[in-house]
Structure 1
Amino acid sequence: MQINVKKEDIVSALNITLGIVEKRNTMDILANVLFDVNDGGLNLTATDLTSEVTTSCSLIDISSTGKTTISARKLNELCRLTSDGEEINISMSREKINIKTKNGKYSLSTLPSENFPIFDNEDSNSTLSILGSDLKDLITSTSFAIDSTGWRDWLQGLFLSAANGELTAVGTDAARLAIAKKSIDPSISFSGVVPRKSINEISRFLSEISGDVEFEIMNSSVVLTANNLIFKSKLIEGGKNLTYFLSVVPTGDCSILECNIKELSEMLSRISVVSSDNKFNEIYLNASSNNFKASANTRNSEQAEEFVNSKLQGEEFEAVINGSMLKDALNHIKTNDCHISFFGPDKVILISPPNSKDQLYVIQPVAPVNISKPSSSSPESAGDDKD
């Protein structure tokens, strides 16, 4: 094997693989990248046994072909630290990879390519072609709600479903639920739970991609294909179906509060300075016909209270909610205003853009509303100094 390659080309290709390569692993070969030089060019593949990425790299010329595995991080660092625009010669002899630059030469150990684990190919029932930015928006709008505690396996990933002309993403940690939808070709149908790490990698790849990508979920794996990249990941077994998740979204009679997202988020940030001392960042909400009040207190008798302008349709309501979860939901709604729907005491709260079901955020109240709460005051007296 012998090739010549530009520094920028091989560094760009190696950077794609580094997110998959395990820093700590039980198999030495998982720290390596599969280095495959064939008549078509150079292909690089990395895996952590749960996911796999393959990308190609442009070459200046190929003197001979071959295949081996090399430490992904060492190869990347050596190439990255080479002068910009420099041509790098890479060859193999006696189970070593030799790297030559203008002023230096280096030798790295290899492991046999035959021992490198490769994903089996699965038959695809349907492949979705979607704008990369649309898929990334869907992931960003929901993946923040994925559980990080390890409580249940199927909560450790993002549920994705293509059905009835909609691609739906659902993230949940059992205390909150995030749902986002995009319209797609109604003939496409698939579903599965993609692990958190794989979702993060897909999102990273999509940040660098313009135009359409191909996305498909098979029986046990998901595949993203774009430009010179193929990413595969195993799915999390078990879990729920879309009907289950949609059944969690409350319906029926409710009070609807309309607020400006920027004003509400800024208010919650200030209240959270006090409420963050509480275990669940509890913030007490009180909505009336003229205003919306958020307040908090702590065991040290610290208090915070603030009002924001709002419009209320329906009866006045009170609730106690995790302030961080409410802010997370607001941060992912792109409209200027939002609707907060209240369905009764101890019921979940629904946050959404006005007159839209493309984004839905469901949050479980922290505690019944009869908990100890800050003393009430009017908007006029909230800013008064008291001796």
Structure 2
Amino acid sequence: MKATIERATLLKSLSHVQSVVERRNTIPILSNVLIEASADGRLKLMATDLDLQIVETVEAAVDTPGATTVSAHTLFDIARKLPEGSQVQLTAAEGKMLVVAGRARFNLATLPRDDFPVIAEGELPTKFELPSETLKQIIDKTRFAISTEETRYYLNGIFLHVSDDSQPVLKAAATDGHRLARVTVPRPDGAAGMPDVIVPRKCVGELRKLLDEVDGSVEVSLSSTKVRFGLGSAILTSKLIDGTFPDYSRVIPTANDKLLRIDPRSFEEGVDRVATIASEKTRAVKMALERDKITLSVTSPENGTAAEEVPGEYTAPNFEIGFNARYLLDILGQIEGDTVEVHLADAAAPTLIRENDTAPALYVLMPMRV
């Protein structure tokens, strides 16, 4: 194999594929990136961790078609340090790969391409397109609520499913048992009858990075076990989480009768300030609600007390409720409008947070004892 590629193109592609590769691997081939040069002037780079696979195709000057695998992180680090604007020549033969750029030469060990595992995609019957902005919104507004507990593995991703509300919709939800985030978007053509799927956290993270470089639509293909995202020159394929996501609609409150309307920025800043002294373990902040006045307070045995009043519209009876400050800030950070609605019931019941009743995103937060 012999090919020449511009350093910027190589670096960009390697930055995409090498992030899939785990730093510590017991299987040497999984540390490698597969590089395949074809006669039509294309260079294909592929990396996998056996659950997630990314393939990127870029243009290159190919002298001799062929394929090999080489350490992904090493090649990425080399490409990063090469001079800007340089042409990188990749030559693979007899178990070695020669990388030449300007006066720099690197001779790297390779492993045979036949040993490289490829995720067999099989038939992916459901196919539809989503605008990249919609997909970004789905990820950004739900990702923070994905559980990191390995024991409840079925919560370690974003749950996607279609439903027929007043009109056909696609819903994305994530929860860790303490908070729930859900986004609803119009159902794309072709998504009718799709299976309920849970997209794993790592796939979500890689997909979000790639979306920053996609302007148009993303092609989504899925079955009950795999999902594939077509993102221009890159294709991301992932196994899905094999489990049943809980019926989260049961925890979305519908009869919370106490309504607080508040500016999300002043609310967020107030919570952030008083939480400065909250103890790491509990991070509890107390909200005392009176007519059009909300007092945020934190009491910490080690650090002392803090309180701040924030203005808001509230006309229901006075009461107090406590929340985990970190969870509350995560939700408020996703609110883009000028007001946020906080629907409360009592100090022990789930609280509903959203911009308004037509907003695509809603959040549920469990209170804490304070």
Q: TM-score, normalised by structure 2?
A: 0.94
- Matched-pair contact (CA < 8 Å) for 1:317–1:342: no
Q: Partners in 1 of 2:120 and 2:236 — Cα distance?
A: 13
- Matched-pair contact (CA < 8 Å) for 2:170–2:188: no
Give 2:44's aligned amino acid. Answer: N
Give 1:272's aligned amino acid. Answer: A
- Matched-pair contact (CA < 8 Å) for 1:163–1:186: no
Q: Give the corresponding residue for 1:248.
A: 251
- Matched-pair contact (CA < 8 Å) for 2:322–2:347: no
Q: Give the corresponding residue for 1:376.
A: none
- Matched-pair contact (CA < 8 Å) for 2:124–2:226: no
Structure 2, unaligned stretches of length 5 or more?
A: none
Q: Give the corresponding residue for 2:300.
A: 298
Question: 1:354-376 CA distances to partner (integer Å, 9 max, x unpaired)?
Answer: 23352111111112xxx5xxxxx
Q: Partners in 2 of 1:325 and 1:311 — Cα distance?
A: 22
Q: Give the corresponding residue for 1:289.
A: 291
- Matched-pair contact (CA < 8 Å) for 1:163–1:188: no
Q: Which runs of structure 2 are paired with 1:1-387 in the superposition (5 Å)?
A: 1-40=1-40, 41-59=42-60, 61-164=61-164, 165-185=168-188, 187-189=190-192, 190=194, 191-240=196-245, 244-274=247-277, 276-277=278-279, 279-300=281-302, 302-367=304-369
Q: Partners in 2 of 1:201 and 1:316 — Cα distance?
A: 45
Q: Partners in 1 of 2:176 and 2:8 — Cα distance?
A: 41
- Matched-pair contact (CA < 8 Å) for 2:21–2:31: yes
Q: CA RMSD in A?
A: 1.7
Q: Provide closer, same or farther for how the CA distance between residues 290 and 217 of structure 1 changes in structure 2, counting only shifts above 3 A.
A: same
Q: What percentage of aligned pairs have identical amino acids?
A: 26
1:259 Cα deviation (Å)?
0.4
- Matched-pair contact (CA < 8 Å) for 1:7–1:79: yes
Q: Which range is displaced more, 82-91 or 338-347?
A: 82-91
Q: Partners in 2 of 1:252 and 1:78 — Cα distance?
A: 59
Q: Partners in 2 of 1:88 and 1:300 — Cα distance?
A: 58
Q: What SS does the aligned partner of 2:126 have?
A: coil
Q: Partners in 2 of 1:260 and 1:77 — Cα distance?
A: 45
Q: Partners in 1 of 2:197 and 2:286 — Cα distance?
A: 37
1:200 Cα deviation (Å)?
0.6
Q: Partners in 2 of 1:256 and 1:204 — Cα distance?
A: 37
Question: 1:31-82 CA distances to partner (integer Å, 9 max, x unpaired)?
Answer: 10011111231100000111000001211x2221111111112222223322
Q: Partners in 2 of 1:109 and 1:125 — Cα distance?
A: 40
Question: 1:92-118 CA distances to partner (integer Å, 9 max, x unpaired)?
Answer: 221211222221332111111111110
Q: Provide closer, same or farther for how the CA distance between residues 34 and 343 of structure 1 changes in structure 2, counting only shifts above 3 A.
A: same
Q: Partners in 1 of 2:274 and 2:253 — Cα distance?
A: 27
Q: Partners in 2 of 1:301 and 1:54 — Cα distance?
A: 51
Q: Partners in 1 of 2:180 and 2:104 — Cα distance?
A: 55
1:314 Cα deviation (Å)?
3.4
1:301 Cα deviation (Å)?
7.3
Q: Partners in 2 of 1:326 and 1:198 — Cα distance?
A: 25
- Matched-pair contact (CA < 8 Å) for 1:128–1:216: yes
Give 1:54's aligned amino acid. Answer: V
1:313 Cα deviation (Å)?
4.6
Give 1:8's aligned amino acid. Answer: A
Give 1:81's aligned amino acid. Answer: K
Give 2:198's aligned amino acid. Answer: V
Question: 1:316-335 CA distances to partner (integer Å, 9 max, x unpaired)?
Answer: 33211111111111110111
Q: Partners in 2 of 1:49 and 1:324 — Cα distance?
A: 34
Q: What SS does the aligned partner of 2:202 have?
A: helix
Q: What SS does the aligned partner of 2:182 have?
A: strand
1:156 Cα deviation (Å)?
1.3
1:187 Cα deviation (Å)?
4.4
Q: Provide closer, same or farther for how the CA distance between residues 84 and 187 of structure 1 changes in structure 2, counting only shifts above 3 A.
A: closer
Question: 1:286-320 CA distances to partner (integer Å, 9 max, x unpaired)?
Answer: 21222111112122471222211111253333211
Q: Partners in 2 of 1:77 and 1:296 — Cα distance?
A: 46
1:120 Cα deviation (Å)?
0.6
Larger radius of gyration: 1
Q: Provide closer, same or farther for how the CA distance between residues 50 and 84 of structure 1 changes in structure 2, counting only shifts above 3 A.
A: same
Q: Partners in 1 of 2:66 and 2:280 — Cα distance?
A: 60
Q: Partners in 2 of 1:139 and 1:326 — Cα distance?
A: 18
Give 1:306's aligned amino acid. Answer: E
Q: Partners in 1 of 2:213 and 2:146 — Cα distance?
A: 23
Q: What SS does the aligned partner of 2:312 have?
A: strand
- Matched-pair contact (CA < 8 Å) for 1:176–1:362: yes
